[in-house]
Amino acid sequence: MAKHKVHYEFPMHCLSEILYEYLATAEGLSEWFADEVVEKGDDFYFSWGGGPAEKATLIRYKPEGFVRFRWEEDEGTKNFFEMTIVIDDITEDLSLNITDFCDEGDEEENAMYWENLIENLRIKLGAA
């Protein structure tokens, strides 16, 4: 069954330079996204609760703009997850936009997953 694309937007109260470090580095990602993150070139290995590492490849990025990863299980598909920093031209409010893919019927669970992750990120940034 093909996954379909979902989008989320989270207002953030921090500097884009600091936020990007939490999105694009193993050290930053291990603060909120996974228990442990190891970076080897463009490959990132994420592990939770001492379990086996799951590999995601950084397939696109723009410094202080966005990062796009593809999980190893999604290789050969158009599936990815992307975290984009958006700054409103008028208000200068910053938001973190998430693009992800999930199975049909898993939208609510996927949204809760990202909401919990972003709440962890806000706490680490002191922006909760």
pLDDT digits (tens, 9 = 90+) for 63-78: 999 999 999 999 999 9
Which of 74, 71, 77, 73 shows the shortest CA–CA distance to 58? 71
| Predicted TM-score (pTM) of this structure | 0.93
Complete domains list, the chain, with CATH: 2-31+57-123 (3.30.530.20)
The yes-or-no verdict on residue 128 having pLDDT over 70 is no
CB atoms within 10 A of CB 107: 12
Average pLDDT, the chain: 95
pLDDT value at residue 127 = 73
Rg (alpha carbons) of the chain, rounded to whole number: 14
> Mean per-residue pLDDT for 74-99?
95
Percent of the chain with pLDDT strictly greater than 70: 98
Q: Report helix, strand and coil shares of the chain as percent, to nearest 5.
A: 25, 40, 35
Tell me the torsion sign for CA atoms 99, 105, 109, 112. Answer: positive
